[in-house]
């Protein structure tokens, strides 16, 4: 048979690891093996020297493929490791079989090292052996084509990860690319199909190809370079898991199947970096001030272009389409364009996921460009840091720079709804959770982050409508979101079983700490932040109401507060004027971790319990709420989930969750409306004397106080002064009844927010009615049984007046101090 011999230079061999499978090489005929190779091992270690590799005579079966090596792999690649054997297992099992000892045959493939002295000398000096490929050929058709490095280059990327567009299963998907606009089953990547490759230009020329409608839309509206960037439209949960695990530091799968993610330096919102573009269409509607700081259109364009430029530098970007709002009449279409799989999965959970038919014709009302991994230019006009969260209501876009905290996207959509719903639809947007009882009674919980909206609305005896964002329309209440965003610090199956059981495959655990061996999450570990969170689809809650909409109007309105001073009662009944006062005030203690830099509870007032997210003036939302409460005869309550017995810094304890739930059970069952009530000093709140399942001494802060009577009076006086001072900025637009519904403090020296206030006269409480009629709770009329009617500004019959309170016989008049220095 004719013999063909051609030389292969090691410099032309592909730079891939050497994979010599078991049985590939037979032992050399030399009496002793060379250094570095076991005498009885079928796999020889090639160390790149003549002594370490003493010219074996490799023999392969006729069905085996030729294995080529290169100089780099020859420099010490250990082929005896389990990883190397695992990589070669498929070929060694079927193709590379060890041959039984037999005389040499002309039909075998022989790989021999040149025997010339010149080649030996070159081999010893340069350690670049030249191999001679020899094969007995029966015909010229069996000749293998020579390796052409110029025609078949091995493209390399600067990324340490393999390029999914060229390597692996994704390349097969690329070959079968379709014109599907929004495929949720295929991850359409950019096809690399170049021509005219040369040694000088191994990349070749990429011909113009057809683009999907989504790619064309992003290219036209945002200048996304679809030829450079792989656009992944609406990827599945599993696909996002894969990308997060490969490309994002801190990502792992926990023991329950949830994905952990790390948001970087920012582990909370950055409210001081929020901006609204000041433009003619919305300029007269926006509540300008410290909450909504203006941004010029010029600066907006700079930030937007900066974000787009960053997205164009990524290998891949994700597009997530969804709805904000379960009511089809009022929902808006939102598109998120981001660079992190963690962000895409987060918004996939938080938005309402469209079905396939809805995706086919999906064109967004608002688009979010999240380039949070890249900072803003802090020297740009109006910027105070490298973080920017900006919304443009005219262009219907949002741009995020300098923060990877996923909650910014969620709250950005919320701000959009705070603008769109009241202005365009006369619909009230609420920062609240909501659930529905078996009889159709709806309860709405207002509150800031950390006050218990998510926890308290997840009631096993009631259907969950939503945990954070809602709208109240003329038809009822609907949830804005498609998921829940629950705090995880201190989470346990005993305290919150619904939330605990929702942490599974598809959920995103944000900034939590887990055991690296067992992958069990330590929910008590606040090493990264106290604002640990979990985002999960709402259907993960067993008793969630799907679709998340109720055609019934709220029966109970509960204003949640977390008082770190320990002087507000756990539960109190509000009349109409008091409801408006406390809704506009929005008092709570800012909880640690909910915003960047907050590590201890701080007293704060957030109008409408949503001040960081409001787009319009608070009084506009307050008036809408007052009209709806009056129209639908809803009951209002002030529920304190904060500290009892003393302040957070003076030995107080957080009100146990079981007592808070017992109070809610009493509200829903109607039992709490049947008990006796007493007036609570300074704030003039109706406090129940008893509540089923709750110790009576906890219901009145004075009775539960353990830090001394003097300190109690000081804390009550200080907090009352804070309320009065804060409400001054709304007094011009508030009615007289609402102003008088606030706390009443004695006229005396200036009240300062310092521990020493002994110079002020003692404020005598009037919890005891001194022979007057007992104040009974009546959910709708606030009339006392057998006594005078309770009004926001009561008419006193011959007795002294207590403003914004019920009539108390024998008490002294308490008037608000016009000057407070807080």
Where in the sequence numbering do the catalytic residues fall?
269, 411, 431, 449, 453-454, 468, 533
- Here the contacts of 802-807 (C-beta below 8 Å, separation 24 or greater) are 802/684, 802/744, 802/766, 803/740, 803/744, 804/577, 804/578, 804/684, 804/740, 804/741, 804/742, 804/744, 805/679, 805/684, 805/744, 806/679, 806/684, 806/686, 806/775, 806/782, 807/772
Are 472 and 628 in contact, with CB atoms under 8 Å apart? yes
Give Cα 558 to chain centroid, integer Å: 26
Bridge-based pairing state of the strands 332-338 and 366-371: parallel
Distance separating alpha carbons of residues 808 and 686, to the nearest angstrom: 12
Two tokens, residue 185: 């089953």
Q: H/E element holding 633?
A: none
DSSP string, 491-542: --TTT-HHHHHT-STT-EEES-EE-TTT--EETT--SS-S--EEEEEGGGST
Which residues are CB-contacts of 320 (< 8 A; sequence separation ≥ 6)?
Answer: 234, 335, 336, 338, 344, 347, 348, 351
Are 691 and 672 in contact, with CB atoms under 8 Å apart? yes
Are 608 and 431 in contact, with CB atoms under 8 Å apart? yes
Q: Which of 389, 413, 400 is nearest to 323 (CA)?
A: 413
Length reported for the chain:
822
Cis amide linkage into residue 36, ω under 30° from 0:
no
Output DSSP code: residue 421.
I
Rg (CA), the chain: 36
Two tokens, residue 747: 């006229």
Output DSSP code: residue 595.
B
Which residues are CB-contacts of 656 (< 8 A; sequence separation ≥ 6)?
Answer: none
Distance separating alpha carbons of residues 668 and 336, to the nearest angstrom: 39
How many CB atoms are located within 10 Å of the residue 582 CB? Answer: 24
What are the b/e assignments for 435-446, b being 16+ CB within 10 Å?
A: bbbeeebbbbbb
Alpha helix positions (H), 670-759: 701-704, 709-727, 736-740
Distance separating alpha carbons of residues 533 and 510, to the nearest angstrom: 5
Q: Which of 512, 626, 540, 640 is nearest to 580 (CA)?
A: 626
Distance separating alpha carbons of residues 175 and 168, to the nearest angstrom: 12
Are 607 and 581 in contact, with CB atoms under 8 Å apart? no
Q: Which of 513, 621, 636, 643 is nearest to 570 (CA)?
A: 643
Q: Which of 162, 178, 183 is nearest to 315 (CA)?
A: 162
């Amino acid at each position: 048979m004719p013999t063909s011999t051609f030389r292969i230079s090691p410099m032309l061999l592909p730079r891939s690891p050497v994979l010599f499978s078991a049985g590939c090489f037979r032992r050399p005929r030399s009496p002793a093996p060379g250094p570095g190779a076991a005498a009885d091992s079928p796999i020889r270690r090639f160390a790149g020297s003549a002594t370490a590799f003493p010219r074996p005579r490799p023999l392969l079966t006729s069905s085996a493929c030729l294995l080529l090596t290169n100089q780099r792999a020859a420099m010490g690649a250990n082929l005896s490791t389990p990883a190397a054997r695992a990589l070669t297992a498929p070929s060694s099992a079927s193709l590379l079989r060890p041959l039984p000892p037999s005389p040499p045959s002309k039909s075998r493939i022989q790989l021999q090292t040149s025997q010339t002295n010149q080649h030996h000398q070159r081999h010893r000096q340069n350690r670049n052996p030249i191999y001679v490929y020899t094969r007995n050929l029966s015909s010229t058709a069996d000749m293998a084509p020579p390796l052409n490095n110029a025609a078949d280059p091995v493209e390399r990327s600067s990324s340490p990860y393999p390029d999914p567009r060229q390597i692996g299963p994704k390349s097969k998907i690329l070959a079968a690319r379709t014109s599907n606009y929004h495929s949720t089953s295929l991850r359409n990547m950019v096809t690399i199909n170049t021509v005219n490759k040369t040694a000088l230009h191994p990349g070749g020329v990429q011909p113009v190809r057809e683009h999907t409608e989504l790619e064309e839309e992003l290219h036209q509206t945002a200048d996304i370079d679809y030829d450079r960037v792989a656009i992944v439209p609406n990827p599945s949960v599993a696909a996002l898991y894969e990308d997060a695990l490969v490309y994002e530091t801190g990502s792992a799968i926990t023991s329950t199947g949830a994905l952990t993610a790390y948001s970087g330096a920012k582990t909370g919102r950055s409210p001081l970096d929020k901006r609204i573009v000041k433009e003619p269409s919305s300029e007269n509607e926006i509540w300008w001030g410290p909450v909504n700081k203006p941004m010029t259109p010029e600066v907006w364009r700079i930030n937007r272009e900066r974000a787009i430029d960053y997205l164009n530098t990524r290998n891949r970007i994700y597009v997530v389409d969804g709805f904000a709002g379960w009511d089809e009449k009022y929902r808006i279409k939102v598109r998120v364009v981001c660079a992190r799989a963690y962000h895409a999965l987060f918004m996939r959970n938080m938005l309402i996921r469209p079905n396939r038919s809805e995706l086919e014709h999906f064109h967004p009302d608002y688009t979010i460009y999240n380039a949070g991994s890249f900072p803003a230019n802090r020297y740009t006009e109006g910027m105070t840091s490298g973080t920017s969260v900006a919304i443009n209501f005219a262009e219907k876009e949002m741009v995020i720079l300098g923060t990877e905290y996923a909650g910014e996207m969620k709250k950005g959509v919320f701000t959009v709804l705070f603008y769109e719903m009241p202005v365009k639809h006369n619909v009230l947007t609420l920062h609240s959770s909501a659930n529905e009882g078996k009889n159709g009674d709806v309860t709405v919980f207002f509150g800031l982050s950390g006050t218990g909206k998510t926890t308290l609305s997840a009631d096993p005896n009631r259907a969950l409508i939503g945990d954070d964002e809602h709208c109240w329309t003329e038809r009822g209440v609907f949830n804005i979101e498609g998921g829940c965003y629950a705090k995880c610090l201190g989470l346990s199956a005993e305290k919150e079983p619904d939330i605990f059981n929702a942490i599974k495959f598809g959920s995103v655990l944000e900034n939590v700490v887990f055991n690296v061996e067992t992958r069990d999450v330590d929910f008590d570990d606040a090493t990264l932040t106290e604002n640990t969170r979990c985002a999960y689809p709402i259907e993960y809650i067993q008793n969630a109401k799907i679709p998340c909409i109720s055609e019934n109007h709220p029966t109970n309105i509960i204003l949640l507060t977390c008082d770190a001073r320990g002087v507000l009662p756990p539960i109190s009944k509000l009349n109409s004027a008091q409801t408006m006062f406390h809704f506009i005030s929005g008092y709570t203690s800012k909880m640690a971790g909910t915003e960047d830099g907050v590590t201890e509870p701080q007293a704060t007032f957030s109008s409408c319990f949503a001040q960081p997210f409001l787009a319009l003036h608070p009084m506009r939302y307050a008036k809408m709420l007052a009209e709806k409460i009056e129209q639908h005869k809803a009951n209002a309550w002030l529920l304190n989930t904060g500290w009892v017995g003393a302040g957070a810094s003076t030995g107080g304890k957080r009100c146990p969750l079981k007592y808070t739930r017992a109070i809610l059970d009493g509200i829903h069952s109607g039992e709490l409306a049947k008990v006796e009530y007493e007036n609570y000093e300074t704030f003039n709140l109706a406090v129940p004397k008893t509540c089923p399942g709750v110790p009576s001494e906890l219901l009145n802060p004075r009775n539960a106080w353990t830090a001394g009577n003097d300190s109690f009076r000081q804390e009550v006086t200080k907090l009352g002064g804070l309320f009065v001072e804060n409400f001054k900025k709304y007094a011009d637009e508030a009615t007289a009844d609402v102003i008088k519904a606030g706390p009443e403090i004695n006229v005396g020296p200036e009240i300062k927010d310092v521990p020493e206030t002994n110079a002020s006269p003692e404020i005598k409480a009037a919890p005891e009615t001194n022979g007057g009629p007992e104040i009974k709770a009546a959910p709708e009329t606030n009339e006392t049984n057998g006594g005078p009617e309770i009004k926001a500004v009561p008419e006193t019959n011959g007795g002294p007046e207590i403003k914004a309170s019920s009539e108390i016989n024998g008490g002294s008049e308490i008037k608000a101090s016009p000057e407070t220095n807080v």
